[in-house]
Amino acid sequence: MMDTREAVQRAKAIGLDLVEVAAKADPPVCRVVDYGKWKYEQSKLKKTTKSKAVTRLKEVKFRVRTEQHDYNIKLGRAETFLDEGHKVRMQLQFRGRENAHREIGFEKMERIKEDLKTMAHVDQEPKLVGRNIVMVLSPLPEGQRERKFVLSHGDLIEEDDFEDDDLDGEELGDGELGDDDYDDDDDDEDEDEDGAEAEDEAEKGVEEGAQ
């Protein structure tokens, strides 16, 4: 431990620099180094660490009839994923007769896009894939993000408030997102949709019999 001025003089005496490496320590820690070389090494280390970071594709699922409370919770969850630096795939699923009114699904996707504009930008615009509409969002730069979806008591929505069956996560590389990057629908959801279609077929048969 020594006075800062004395430390600077000692560093200059041997042709080096005094660089602070731990500002929050008590007392702060400094090193006597070649500042240009030290800065280059730190930059190189930062790039290496960044390249090893894993980006995940998270998923939040909606229905045409998702109620406002559930909608808020789901968007709160999406904001959490975006705030952690992950991409988010928004998926809206149609069931039975809802397939005849797909424009309602696209309207809901536009609403989601508008509600999350303070957290994300659109990587993939809403598009129809089978019986679903999908959209992919990427987080805005950290300093530009602003969360909006909170609970009635004023706290940000926590993970304990989420439904367990809303999420599918994947690790992503640097490539473009394609249909193969996404998980298939859960078996339970397929069974629900098949059941809804069977119900429609049964109703159709009854109507034809009545005629």
Record: fold of 55-174: Translation Initiation Factor IF3 (3.30.110)
Do residues 105 and 127 make contact, with C-beta atoms less than 8 angstroms apart? Answer: no
Count of other CB atoms within 10 angstroms of residue 3: 8
Task: Give pLDDT, residue 186.
Answer: 44
Over range 13-41, report the average pLDDT: 87
Q: Which pLDDT band holds residue 50 (cuts at 50, 70, 90)?
A: low
Q: Is the pTM of this model over 0.95?
A: no
Mean pLDDT of the chain: 76
pLDDT at 168 over 70: no
pLDDT at 193 over 60: no
Instruction: Name the nearest CA neighbour of 94 among 106, 78, 77.
Output: 106
Q: Is 16 helix (H, G, I), strand (E, B) or coil?
A: coil
CA angle 159, 83, 187 (to 5 degrees): 50
pLDDT at 125 over 90: yes
Please, where in the chain does CATH 3.30.110.10 lie? Answer: 55-174
Do residues 92 and 64 make contact, with C-beta atoms less than 8 angstroms apart? Answer: yes
Q: Which pLDDT band holds residue 185 (cuts at 50, 70, 90)?
A: very low
Please, where in the chain does CATH 3.10.20.80 lie? Answer: 4-51
Residue 49 CA, distance from chain mean position: 20
Per CATH, the number for 4-51 is: 3.10.20.80
Residue 90 CA, distance from chain mean position: 10
Residue with the bigger pLDDT between 170 and 103: it is 103
Task: Give pLDDT, residue 78.
Answer: 92
CA distances for 19 relative to 15, 32, 40, 49, 181, angstroms: 13, 6, 13, 22, 46
pLDDT at 161 over 70: no
Q: State how far the Cα of 22 lies from the Cα of 30, in Å rounded to an integer.
A: 7
Task: Give pLDDT, residue 59.
Answer: 92
Over range 66-71, report the average pLDDT: 90
DSSP tag of 117: T
